[in-house]
Chain A
Amino acid sequence: IAGITQAPTSQILAAGRRMTLRCTQDMRHNAMYWYRQDLGLGLRLIHYSNTAGTTGKGEVPDGYSVSRANTDDFPLTLASAVPSQTSVYFCASSEGAGASNEQFFGPGTRLTVL
Chain B
Amino acid sequence: GQNIDQPTEMTATEGAIVQINCTYQTSGFNGLFWYQQHAGEAPTFLSYNVLDGLEEKGRFSSFLSRSKGYSYLLLKELQMKDSASYLCAVTSNDYKLSFGAGTTVTVRA
Contacts and interface: CB of A to CB of B under 8 A. Distances in A.
A43 B87 contact: yes
Contacts, number: 50
Interface of B: 4, 30-31, 33, 41-45, 48, 50, 87, 89, 91, 95-102
B95 A105 contact: no
Contacts of B96: 45, 48, 58
A78 B42 CA distance: 22
6 nearest A-B pairs in the assembled complex, by CB-CB distance: A99-B30, A105-B42, A42-B101, A43-B99, A42-B99, A99-B91
A84 interface: no
A103 B97 contact: yes
A100 B100 contact: no
Contact of A45 (B43, B48, B97): B97
A99 B28 CA distance: 11
A105 B31 CA distance: 19
Interface residues of A, number: 23
A42 B98 CA distance: 9
A105 B43 contact: yes
- Which of A97, A99, A100 has the most chain B CB atoms inside 10 A of its CB? A99
B95 A108 contact: no
B100 A42 contact: yes
Interface in A24-79: 33, 35, 40-45, 48, 58-59
Contact of B44 (A35, A59, A105, A108): A105
Given A42-B87, A43-B87, A99-B50, A90 B42 contact: yes
Given A43-B43, A106-B42, A107-B41, A99 B99 contact: no
Contacts of A102: 33, 45, 48
19 contacts: A41-B101, A43-B43, A43-B87, A43-B89, A43-B99, A44-B99, A45-B96, A45-B97, A59-B98, A98-B95, A99-B31, A99-B95, A102-B48, A103-B97, A105-B42, A106-B42, A107-B41, A108-B41, A108-B42
